[in-house]
Amino acid sequence: MSLGLVVVEVCDRNAMALLPLEELEEKFPEAAVMRTNCLNMCNMCRARPYAMVNENRVHAATPEECLEQVEEAVREVIRLFFE
């Protein structure tokens, strides 16, 4: 179980859901990944891969690029917390 300092939320219907996001919890023990049925952002969900990182939208053209952006956002939250 992760600490949940950083919460990454992903809609099951979004392209990001196809990635092994739980690996983020292994890479960043401070992060918790939550997969949900719906984040009520249907237009965004249909348009491109996205995730919510501590309630901030992170998106990119491809799921892989979005995952990189999510990792960057997680690192930034952790950095600011421990600063």
User: Domain map of the chain by residue range?
Assistant: 6-82
| Short-list 39, 44, 9, CA closest to 24 | 9
Residue 3 pLDDT > 70, yes or no?
no
Gap between the Cα atoms of 1 and 45, Å rounded: 27
Average pLDDT of the residues in 10-38 = 93
| Short-list 74, 63, 81, CA closest to 24 | 74
pTM: 0.90
Residue 18 pLDDT > 90, yes or no?
yes
Structure tokens at 7: 């919460």
Rounded percentage of the chain residues whose pLDDT exceeds 70? 96
